[in-house]
Amino acid sequence: MASLKELKGRIASVKSTQKITKAKQMVAAAKLRKAQAAAEAARPYGTRLEAVVASLASKITVSPTSPRLLAGTGADQVHLLVVANSDRGLCGAFNSNIVKAAVLKARDLIAAGKTVKFYLIGRKGRPVIARTFPNMIVGQFDTTGAKQVNFAQAQAIATDITVRFEAGEFDVAHLFYSTFKSALAQIPTEKQIIPVAVDPNTPTSSGAAVEYEPDEESILADLLPRNVGNQLFKALLENSASEQGASMTAMDNATRNAGDLINNLTIQYNRSRQAASTAELIEIIAGAEAL
Amino acid sequence: MPLHFELVTPEKLVRSAEVYQVVVPGAEGDFGVLEGHAPFMSTIRDGALHIFESATSAPETIAIVGGFAEVNEKGLTVLAESAG
């Protein structure tokens, strides 16, 4: 049985933990709103760019001379897994879910005889991946400097990746991030970013004869790297909303658990206090009776 | 008849309005877009976008960096990497 003093100490420490988790929960709630607003604001650009790329891609026939970002390298041997994580913890299983999805995919690819490389965004995924697949991390992008996801950052990552692609470092790139569904549900998602996977269902602009300046191919060559950047930007925004959502849920649970723990400890504390004073009384009365 | 004009950047929808004419800095030269322009697609160079609210008003200028313009039956859409 823990002594009264020990119990008191534990109650105090759990209380201060609860204060921290509660504060973190409120911060996450505020940041979540901001992240959702940013994702909302980015939507018009994303949908328009995708529509334009899809309509252009459907117009030109893919040939060995067309942009490599669209046609691919013709091989399917080296896969780059781009894993987007957060820089901070205290967000439940958010990071490990993304890493788990990436690791599963990597195992599948390796079993199929492919070569796998990793490119990491954010700090949190690195230890696990470095342990599971040593020497397979070819690049990393540090996002700790920026407070919020911005397009320049996404574009910098996209440039880094496309340069590696042009240099022939890999044939296919997959992006792993978390889709924000609600504060309670974030879904680890995999998306192929290179070569550009054109969704045949994307509504294209009408079949009217469109005039191009300079011409379809050069416009496409200009747009495709932008499209990669846009995809990354969208994923990073989703990811930051997911992170805050996961953090909010995790911290809510932690606050509640701390509350339960405090209740239990308080009951235990009161019981042992009562037991101690009863024992003291019995001793005094017994002593008085003996006289 | 006014021209429906939209200027979009990754961060937000900068402008969505009915205007008279917009002059866009195209990669191969500036071009003006009025209502009923034929479908047209062009990359743009870094430069200034001139927006005319009406035929007689002075143009409003917005500097844009990196992007792309599309004219279709719905109007003119300019996708820029940054604006303002």
| Residue from the list B27, B39, B68 with its beta carbon closest to the beta carbon of A210 | B39
**pLDDT, position A213:** 79
**pLDDT, position B67:** 85
**Chain B residues with CB-CB distance to A49 below 8 A:** 68, 79
A91 part of the active site:
yes
Contact A214 B10 (CB under 8 A): no
Contact A151 B82 (CB under 8 A): yes
Long-range contacts of A29-36 (CB under 8 A, 24+ apart): A29/A244, A29/A248, A31/A244, A32/A183, A32/A241, A32/A244, A32/A245, A32/A248, A34/A148, A35/A149, A35/A237, A35/A240, A35/A241, A35/A243, A35/A244, A36/A180, A36/A241
Q: Each residue of A178-223: pLDDT tens digit?
A: 999 888 889 999 988 888 776 655 555 455 577 887 887 788 888 8
% residues pLDDT > 70 (chain A): 93
**Chain B residues with CB-CB distance to A42 below 8 A:** 10-12
Distances in whole angstroms, Cα of residue A91 to Cα of each of A148, A196, B48? 17, 32, 44
Average pLDDT of the residues of chain B: 89
Active-site choice (A82, A91, A101, A237): A91
Q: What φ, ψ does residue A24 adopt, rounded to 5°?
A: -65, -35
Q: Each residue of A165-183: pLDDT tens digit?
A: 988 889 999 999 999 988 8
Chain B nearest CA to A228, separation (Å): 13
Q: Each residue of A227-276: pLDDT tens digit?
A: 888 889 989 999 999 999 999 999 999 999 999 999 999 999 999 999 99
Q: Each residue of A44-68: pLDDT tens digit?
A: 888 888 888 877 777 776 666 677 7
Contact A49 B73 (CB under 8 A): no
Long-range contacts of B58-67 (CB under 8 A, 24+ apart): B59/B23, B62/B7, B62/B14, B62/B15, B64/B7, B64/B25, B66/A226, B67/B43
Q: Is a pLDDT exceeding 90 seen at residue A152?
A: no
Q: What is the ipTM, given to two decimal places? A: 0.82
**pLDDT, position B2:** 87
Contact B79 A206 (CB under 8 A): no
Q: Strand B13-19 to strand B3-8: parallel, antiparallel, or no bridges (unpaired)?
A: antiparallel
Residues of A at the B interface, defined by Cβ within 8 angstroms? 38, 41-42, 44-46, 48-49, 52, 56, 150-151, 154-155, 205-206, 208-214, 218-219, 222-223, 226, 230, 233
SS3 for B19? strand
pTM as predicted: 0.84
Mean pLDDT of A75-83: 90
Average pLDDT of the residues of chain A: 87
Q: Is a pLDDT exceeding 90 seen at residue A74?
A: no
* Element spanning A125, H or E: none
**pLDDT, position A166:** 87
Name residue, tokens 């005319």.
B52
% residues pLDDT > 90 (chain A): 49
Chain A nearest CA to B19, separation (Å): 20
Contact B11 A150 (CB under 8 A): yes
Residues in CB range of A92: below 8 A, 6 or more apart = A246, A247, A249, A250, A253
**pLDDT, position A108:** 93
Chain A nearest CA to B40, separation (Å): 5
B42 to chain A: closest CA residue: A213
Contact B10 A44 (CB under 8 A): no
| Residue from the list A44, A49, A209 with its beta carbon closest to the beta carbon of B39 | A209
Q: How confident is the model at residue A287 (pLDDT cuts 50, 70, 90)?
A: very high
Residues A233 and B10: beta-carbon distance below 8 Å = yes
Mean pLDDT of B46-63: 90
CB atoms under 10 Å from CB of A289, counted, come to 7
**pLDDT, position A20:** 95
**pLDDT, position A1:** 59
Which residue, among A34, A36, A45, A234, would best test binding to B if mutated, counting the most B CBs under 10 Å from its CB? Answer: A45
Residue B55 touches partner A, C-beta closer than 8 Å: no
**pLDDT, position A208:** 57
**pLDDT, position A202:** 52
Residues A32 and A248: beta-carbon distance below 8 Å = yes
